[in-house]
Structure 1
Amino acid sequence: MNSQAPMILSGRGVTAVLGPTNTGKTHYAIERMVAHGSGVIGLPLRLLAREVYTRLVEKVGPTHVALVTGEEKITPPNARFSVCTVEAMPRETKSAFVAIDEVQLAGDLERGHIFTDRILHLRGREETLLLGAGTMRPILERLLPGLTVIERPRLSQLFYAGQKKITRLPQRSAIVAFSADEVYAIAELIRRQRGGAAVVLGALSPRTRNAQVGLYQSGDVEYLVATDAIGMGLNLDVDHVAFAQDRKFDGYQFRNLNPGELGQIAGRAGRHLRDGTFGVTGQVQPFDDELVERIETHQFDPVKVLQWRSKALDFSSLRDLRASLDVAPVIQGLTRALPATDSQALDYLSRYPEVIDMATNPERVEKLWDACALPDYRRITPAQHADLISTIFSDLVRIGWVNEDFMAEQVQRADRTDGEIDTLSARIAQIRTWTYVSNRPGWLAHPTHWQEKTREIEDRLSDALHERLTKRFVDRRTSVLMKRLRENAMLEAEISVNGDVFVEGHHVGQLAGFRFTPIAGTEGPDAKAVQGAAQKALALEFEARAARLYACGNGDLALGSDGFVRWLGEPVAKLAAGDHIMHPRLILLSDEQLTGNARDHVAARLERFVNHHIATVLKPLDDLSRAEDLQGLAKGLAFQLVENLGLMFRRDVADEVKSLDQDARASMRRYGIRFGAYHIFMPLLLKPAPAELITLLWALKNDGLDKPGYGDLIPALAAGRTSVVTDPSFERSFYKLAGFRFLGKRAVRVDILERLADLIRPLLQWKPGSSARPDGAYDGRRFVTTTAMLSILGATPDDMEEILKGLGYRADAVSAEEAQAFLASQQPSSVAPASDAAETTDSGDDADPAPQEQAGETPVAPEVAAEATAGEPAVAEEPKPVLLWRPGGGRAENQRGGQRPQGERRAPNNAPRQGEGRRDNRDNRERGERTEQGGRPNRDGGSNRDGGRPNHRGDRQEGRPDRGRGDRPERGDRGKAPQPARFEAKPPRKEKPIDPDSPFAKLAALKEQMKK
């Protein structure tokens, strides 16, 4: 191994046929080989080997030609000629002729050492040919003294065509990329734009590659997307080569292609005497002038060194084998190759204890090295690949061949044709591994069986992969239509009942409403003829559709929450903001073919429908806007209500409401207006359909269709929800538009809030000493929440606390014992004792009995859970404070968009909270405005006391003076302008003498007794 000169054979009898692509080198080698009695030719790719094999079979017959690759062997008994990949060429041969193609690959970092070994050591008895680029001449003449060199000129010219978009590339083009993902992406784009493309990758099986090339060669597709595999001698009818990438991964790093590699690939353009062009596409920058000139004139830098690895391997031990692989060349022009896949696998296996234990003699070391030659078809990690080799080597040592049960299991996993392109490609890589194993001499007990089985599976997988590739990247309908367009300029078009548009029987688009959408594949230069034929049919169809729409009923039209107007389910127009919120603009959704009277008729019919729809769904609002019997303040208040889409806070119009006389109020009630304690509103507009339309109109006017919360509250309203948990991300206005009042963490339907006000009002008006006391009243100034309140709101006690604070009430906290004692001192004759009370819970019952009919239900706060036992007073398990509510000072929460600070709970023991003062509670205590009849509220927010019988108190009967406190100023404030509420702390409480007849004196005495 110290002297390598004897290992290099002489160059005498060796001819180097060098030159650029399209010089006929491979054809010349075939002709020379068949002129001899036997021969071997080595090719860089199994794809090219299959092509040369086919050409030789045509010349001398299949019985005389063998094909030998790593995973395929066709070896007739009397074969005189062998076509091989360079790796599969024999180390020694007695054949008369030897040829090695693409010898410039001897400089490749990954495979170069194999080409170098064949160039230096393999010879034919009579003739040896080395075929390759002219850049190999200097190094070959230096390494092989006596070499004969023949330079062949290119048969056609090669020209640079510059940069073009992929969709503008000429027909019969090959687009080159260097990754499967990029190849597939380009092929997909071409399928959409130009009808389809064939794909060629080095990872495809020969059968799949041949089928794809057949698509291109037959003219079914006009484009080929490939890797640099086409630069290695594949003879295709390519007129133009376009580089979609100029960088590739060479096995070790990503790098730019050198001019010689670019020239090798670009040279595929043009065949024989037909000139070709090359250029760039996609994101590749145009080539500079110097590079273009070098490619056009085929002037490239010569190859200076060849990759080399020692042929004299020492199998004495694993250490000796690795040392022999690391030997450096001593001849100028050769350089030691980087570790290849086999040497990398050997490095891993040399560290496996089980491998070290088995590789104990030269025979087993050589067997291990043979196993390391297994190609990594699956592209897995070196460690995983080494594990597979270890398993194979272990079987070869222990039983003499690969365990066929293990192999059957592996083969069975790949024997499936379902799945998509990547799945099938992975299975082909898997089966190729076992095809290689089945073709290794001495590795299997029944090699013929496994060779046939693996070849059969690979063929089926290859056919399935070809089918998937064709289905994904070739639109046969479009490709056939393109041919038809080139033959005939007049095409027939028709439109089906469901809107499918056909040209010459091929589906080219879809007609929805008055818009035509072409499908993918009808774009590009040839699309004009298709579009022209389709438009002729569309023009007549548009007129017919316009007439049908003009005559249709309102049942065929619909307005969606997205603002689109649909005819028979297809969008024909959309709404946009107009001058007035109740009158949005209409925008037709149509192509240019809808013109003239047909367009006018469609627009008029749709505008009539939209106006009718708004007037019908929002009839109460529409009637109010047209009311002519309202005068003065009533008319102004009605105008404001229309502008606010049927809902206003009473506080905002408190002065106007107080100034209305009973006749004005009655006239407004006839239009469905309700004067509530907190709101002025129209209950009919709280239904889902009106609320949805109101929300849509507001969103159109305020660009709110995309704002968070739009459309989310309508389902809650449709489901009958009386309150919902608020979402901070929602647009605040949508709560009001949907009929909800935003109260901190919860929003309540406004009519339910009015029912709540009807329950609270009697509690605040009761006086101690009355014959009947409403549930929850203590002294006519404070109250606790009741089951009825929680039920109508569908809320928990914590929710109720949030809601009442949002409405402006204040809470005084007392202990449960104080509350029970206080209850006992309040009219015992009319109040059931606490011992007889049932536990009060949030029942969720919608029943709303009148306060006077709730006798017998103990007014115990829901915050206190009482345990009822016979003869014993109720005792709370854990003393909890009870909230006594009373009208608070200041403005109600959220009246101006404010919120109570997070974490603020209840005030302790009647202490005033910061920011709270007195407030005028006139809005909360106006009596007689629940409905025209008054009385107990219904579920829809109205009232129906005593079967609808009029109640002759206050404002409940039309025409009588309003004697309620809600419309008159507080004592001392009459004749004065309303004063803003003041927020100030209360002064310290002064001790006053207790009246012995007062109930509080009894409570104090009771406390003293309990202490004793």
Structure 2
Amino acid sequence: MASFMPSRADRDRAPVKAVLGPTNTGKTHLAIERLCAHSSGAIGFPLRLLAREVYDRVCKIKGEANVALITGEERIEPPNARWHLCTVEAMPSRPDLAFVALDEAQLAADPERGHVFTDRLLHTRGREETMLLGSATLEPMVRALVPNVEVVSRPRFSTLSHVGAKKLSRIPPRSAIVAFSAEQVYAMAEMLRRFRGGAAVVMGALSPQTRNAQVAMYQAGEVDYLVATDAIGMGLNLDVTHVAFAGLSKYDGHRHRRLTTAEMAQIAGRAGRHHKDGTFGTLAGMGSRSSDSGPEFADEEVYAIEEHRFPPLTRLFWREAEPRFDSLTTLIEDLERPPPRAELASAPPAIDLAVLKRLADETDVTSAVRGRASVQRFWQVCSLPDFRQQGAETHARFVARLWQDLRQGYLGADYVAQAIAQQDNPSGDIDTLQGRIAAVRSWAYITQRPDWVMAREEMAARARAVETRLSDALHARLTERFVNRRTTVLMRKAGGDASLLPVRISEAGAVLVDDEPIGHLDGFRFVIDPLARAADRKLLLAAAERHLPGILTARADDLIAAAAQPAGLALENAALTWNGLPVARLEPGKSVLEPRLRLENALGLLPARQRPLLLAALDGWLAGRIGADLGPLLRLIEAARATESGPDLRALLLRLVAGGGVLGREEAALERLDSRQRDMLRRLSVRTGALDLFVPAILKPGPIALWCRLVALRGETPAAPPHHLPPVVAAKVPPAGYRRAAAQAIRVDMAEKLLQTAHRRRIAAAGKRYPLDPALARSMGLATAGYAALLRAAGFRVHMARPLAEAAHGPPAPPMWDWRPPRAAPARLPTALSPPPNGAFAALAELMR
């Protein structure tokens, strides 16, 4: 059992210096300077994340090979390390260290961990210098317990002022809101997400890495608000200008009580860093005004916080730091031994002692705990921290299972690897990830024990890697739930004024404000991000209307340039599209081949001077497309307007144009044309077939599809042929460019090919009846019935052979054909093809009648 008093050798060392004062006095910075000024040393911190933060700073000064980080869950110990950054529980007891410092020493009065801080305060010394850092309330205890101590008081660098209660919506940027339960933290963060774009979240239940990531997000200005539990008061260096208390009471594990003024000051002191003043207050409308749980500060509390005047500590918690391990009974007796001085008080039962006493009563667990080494090893297992915070009963079961494996020696590497791998799952919600992180932190602590785990370094690396992945996932979940980056950017950049928003467009068409998407351009139409909250929509639309005309002007210039290229645009149904997005609509014009264009409504944001230029460019592209595909029809119209054509040829040409380049011969009245007019037809590439007049260039997929689109604009719905224009299709109503043949339809040029073959056979027969081979028709896909119907329409007549006599044998005779010219059609315009009464050629048709 160790004495609380220092030995003679301790008293002969350099005196102890206690640097005391409120928050923001530079105490930790001073300790780092003194550490680096000595040849070796160690600083003990209350939190792992603080040790890690200072470790990174000292590494930059001394080099990673000379600096060690020692915590319960992580050990980085280079062989020649001389400067050590540790948690208080992991501080090395080495008399050769030249410098030793204890940070936040006033935590010796903490019911849970105070006895550890008290032991370090009494017994841990540096060879050349020892420094105790803490609150001024610790001064009486330091003077009473540490002989020859030198007390140095440091004033706060900045002023801390009370500003009263504010509504959450009125809390200024760069503020921290402090709550005292996870539910309240989440509620505050959710409200800030709706009002101000979100907040970072800091709680003791988060892993150190997740807390660091959330703090880094706040420090980098990605969010302007921080919601935290009282964990924020323990040494986190933050750029906070205001601290708002959501409440002034908390549950301390035993009862619900009001915070002490020292606790209030520790939290409020996070506001204002260095020489920048800070403020503190409460949130309005967060609860009752009762004396024990009200959200308002009493006048005496405000005075104490602003003037840093707090009741001094009258006792520190103590527990025997070096108990005897003769037996479990002796161990428990020493841990429960009363302190030897009036300034010290017995620590409340901690989780490790509670687990020890529970398991000591279970003979199946402790039956093998015999001898000093075994008792000491069992106590080390019981001292495993309860990272999962599930209470003594649940934690005792975990410790008992661990002891069953450890009492035989080491934990197997496969067993530990499997236990760590079970937690390696980054999916799930916030609470699930917190539970997995707590579990893997237990295994990270276990793997740091050199006498517990085989392949310790490998298993420790695995545990750290899993904790890192889970912490990254938890940080992502917190950010997804509590941060609306778009709203944050809008509030920071605009403050409600859309003209201040810096708007740009990405290559993918996303509209960005400070690289944060607020919507996208669908062609020339601005579409707000569907995830944008309703309160942001007005500002987003205003920003788009203010900034997008310039962007759209540049895009319209690109469209005008594209219209000069043959393949720059496309026609899709009745829309003119650019890169798949509609920019104009086709509407009926003076004729089928002269449609009009109407710009999309989204192009209304373009400057008035640019819209006519764009419309002219699109008209030019459309005219070029019609000229390329339907140029032969345009030439027919031009010829019909010529005076030398005559009325008969003019009427034929106009009907041919109205039929999309196809006209039945019975409707053409060819007998009225003289040789000169017939020669004009040939020069216009009009082919006169046995059944139809047609323009071969029109019977291609592109021209036919374009013709059908243009006709559909005028309310007509011609049957559009398949894109690849097969020779024969199954259709009783023939598509454009086809002729009916029984239950099928055949393309008119293919029909002419079949009929020309039949006429050549007729001529070769020299007036006799002749058979016709249907092989060519079948190769096109035309059935025998359709072939026969086509021949009959062209004037061919079939003569079936007489059937064989009853006793005769042999193949049947083939059908024989002959030809008689079809009867001439009446010399008048067919009623079915009469132009509409209000059409362009109604007057001409009337004159022809």
Query: TM-score, with normalisation over the residues of structure 1?
Result: 0.49
Residue 147 of structure 2 aligns to a residue whose secondary structure is coil
Cα distance, 1:266 vs structure 2: 0.5
Cα distance, 1:149 vs structure 2: 0.1
| Aligned counterpart, 1:343 | 353
Which residue identity lines up with residue 60 of structure 1 in the other structure?
K
1:253 to 232, 236, 255: 255
2:517–2:529 Cα contact (<8 Å) kept: no
Deviation track 1:288-328 (CA, whole Å, cap 9, x = no partner) reads: 21111110000000000000001231211111111111110
Deviation track 1:653-699 (CA, whole Å, cap 9, x = no partner) reads: xxxxxxxxxxxxxxxxxxxxxxxxxxxxxxxxxxxxxxxxxxxxxxx
* Separation in 2, partners of 1:520, 1:420: 23
User: Structure 2 vs 1, CA of residues 518 and 173 (structure 1 numbering), >3 Å: closer, same or farther?
Assistant: farther
Deviation track 1:31-54 (CA, whole Å, cap 9, x = no partner) reads: 000000111000011121111111
1:481–1:506 Cα contact (<8 Å) kept: no
Residue 358 of structure 1 aligns to a residue whose secondary structure is coil
1:491–1:530 Cα contact (<8 Å) kept: no
| Aligned counterpart, 1:263 | 265
* Separation in 1, partners of 2:157, 2:418: 52
Q: How does 1:67-146 map to 2 (within 5 A)?
A: 67-146=69-148
User: Structure 2 vs 1, CA of residues 529 and 373 (structure 1 numbering), >3 Å: closer, same or farther?
Assistant: same
* Separation in 2, partners of 1:195, 1:333: 50
Which residue identity lines up with residue 78 of structure 1 in the other structure?
N
* Separation in 2, partners of 1:367, 1:230: 35
| Aligned counterpart, 1:201 | 203
| Aligned counterpart, 1:305 | 315
Q: How does 1:778-857 map to 2 (within 5 A)?
A: none
| Aligned counterpart, 1:411 | 420
2:99–2:127 Cα contact (<8 Å) kept: yes
Which residue identity lines up with residue 72 of structure 2 in the other structure?
G
Residue 247 of structure 2 aligns to a residue whose secondary structure is coil
Tell me whether 1:382 sits opposite 2:384 in the alignment: no
| Aligned counterpart, 1:925 | none
| Aligned counterpart, 1:423 | 432
| Aligned counterpart, 1:437 | 446
* Separation in 1, partners of 2:194, 2:184: 16
Q: How does 1:186-265 map to 2 (within 5 A)?
A: 186-265=188-267
Runs (5+) with no aligned partner, structure 2 = 288-293, 505-509, 521-527, 548-849
* Separation in 1, partners of 2:210, 2:171: 25
User: Structure 2 vs 1, CA of residues 312 and 2 (structure 1 numbering), >3 Å: closer, same or farther?
Assistant: closer
1:158–1:276 Cα contact (<8 Å) kept: yes
User: Structure 2 vs 1, CA of residues 158 and 519 (structure 1 numbering), >3 Å: closer, same or farther?
Assistant: same
Deviation track 1:139-183 (CA, whole Å, cap 9, x = no partner) reads: 110111211000000011000011011121000001111222221
* Separation in 2, partners of 1:458, 1:201: 17
1:110–1:251 Cα contact (<8 Å) kept: no
| Aligned counterpart, 1:159 | 161
* Separation in 1, partners of 2:217, 2:503: 28
Which residue identity lines up with residue 224 of structure 2 in the other structure?
E
Which residue identity lines up with residue 208 of structure 2 in the other structure?
P
Cα distance, 1:355 vs structure 2: 2.4
| Aligned counterpart, 1:621 | none
Cα distance, 1:481 vs structure 2: 2.6
Tell me whether 1:460 sits opposite 2:462 in the alignment: no
Q: How does 1:432-581 map to 2 (within 5 A)?
A: 432-485=441-494, 489=499, 507=518, 523=535, 529=539
* Separation in 2, partners of 1:137, 1:55: 29
Cα distance, 1:185 vs structure 2: 1.6
Deviation track 1:166-213 (CA, whole Å, cap 9, x = no partner) reads: 121000001111222221221111111101111112222232222111
* Separation in 2, partners of 1:4, 1:112: 15
* Separation in 2, partners of 1:51, 1:161: 32
| Aligned counterpart, 1:293 | 303
Deviation track 1:519-554 (CA, whole Å, cap 9, x = no partner) reads: 77565xx998557658999xxxxxxxxxxxxxxxxx
1:171–1:222 Cα contact (<8 Å) kept: yes
2:39 to 34, 37, 40: 37
Cα distance, 1:409 vs structure 2: 3.0
Alignment RMSD: 3.0
2:248–2:295 Cα contact (<8 Å) kept: no
* Separation in 1, partners of 2:73, 2:31: 24
Deviation track 1:691-732 (CA, whole Å, cap 9, x = no partner) reads: xxxxxxxxxxxxxxxxxxxxxxxxxxxxxxxxxxxxxxxxxx
Residue 478 of structure 2 aligns to a residue whose secondary structure is helix
Cα distance, 1:437 vs structure 2: 0.2
| Aligned counterpart, 1:369 | 379
User: Structure 2 vs 1, CA of residues 83 and 4 (structure 1 numbering), >3 Å: closer, same or farther?
Assistant: closer
User: Structure 2 vs 1, CA of residues 86 and 521 (structure 1 numbering), >3 Å: closer, same or farther?
Assistant: farther
Aligned residue-pair number: 526
* Separation in 2, partners of 1:493, 1:322: 69
1:51 to 33, 50, 53: 53
Which residue identity lines up with residue 117 of structure 2 in the other structure?
F
* Separation in 1, partners of 2:105, 2:299: 28
2:328 to 318, 340, 350: 318
1:522–1:530 Cα contact (<8 Å) kept: no
Which residue identity lines up with residue 357 of structure 2 in the other structure?
D
| Aligned counterpart, 1:977 | none
Cα distance, 1:356 vs structure 2: 2.5
Residue 313 of structure 1 aligns to a residue whose secondary structure is coil
Cα distance, 1:265 vs structure 2: 0.8
2:41–2:98 Cα contact (<8 Å) kept: yes
Residue 16 of structure 1 aligns to a residue whose secondary structure is strand
Residue 69 of structure 2 aligns to a residue whose secondary structure is strand
Q: How does 1:600-619 map to 2 (within 5 A)?
A: none
* Separation in 2, partners of 1:92, 1:223: 43
Deviation track 1:346-382 (CA, whole Å, cap 9, x = no partner) reads: 0111011122211111110000001111000011231
Identity, % of aligned pairs? 51
1:191–1:521 Cα contact (<8 Å) kept: no
Residue 489 of structure 1 aligns to a residue whose secondary structure is helix
User: Structure 2 vs 1, CA of residues 296 and 89 (structure 1 numbering), >3 Å: closer, same or farther?
Assistant: same
Which residue identity lines up with residue 96 of structure 2 in the other structure?
K
Which residue identity lines up with residue 269 of structure 1 in the other structure?
A
Residue 30 of structure 1 aligns to a residue whose secondary structure is helix
User: Structure 2 vs 1, CA of residues 91 and 501 (structure 1 numbering), >3 Å: closer, same or farther?
Assistant: closer
Which residue identity lines up with residue 158 of structure 1 in the other structure?
L
* Separation in 2, partners of 1:158, 1:491: 35
User: Structure 2 vs 1, CA of residues 531 and 300 (structure 1 numbering), >3 Å: closer, same or farther?
Assistant: farther
Deviation track 1:61-109 (CA, whole Å, cap 9, x = no partner) reads: 2221111111111112221111111111124442110000001110011
Cα distance, 1:12 vs structure 2: 5.8
Runs (5+) with no aligned partner, structure 1 = 495-499, 510-515, 538-1012
User: Structure 2 vs 1, CA of residues 140 and 354 (structure 1 numbering), >3 Å: closer, same or farther?
Assistant: same
Which residue identity lines up with residue 65 of structure 1 in the other structure?
V
* Separation in 2, partners of 1:70, 1:493: 49
* Separation in 1, partners of 2:91, 2:3: 25
2:518–2:532 Cα contact (<8 Å) kept: no
Deviation track 1:466-513 (CA, whole Å, cap 9, x = no partner) reads: 11111111112222233432596256999xxxxx9999995589xxxx
Which residue identity lines up with residue 461 of structure 1 in the other structure?
L
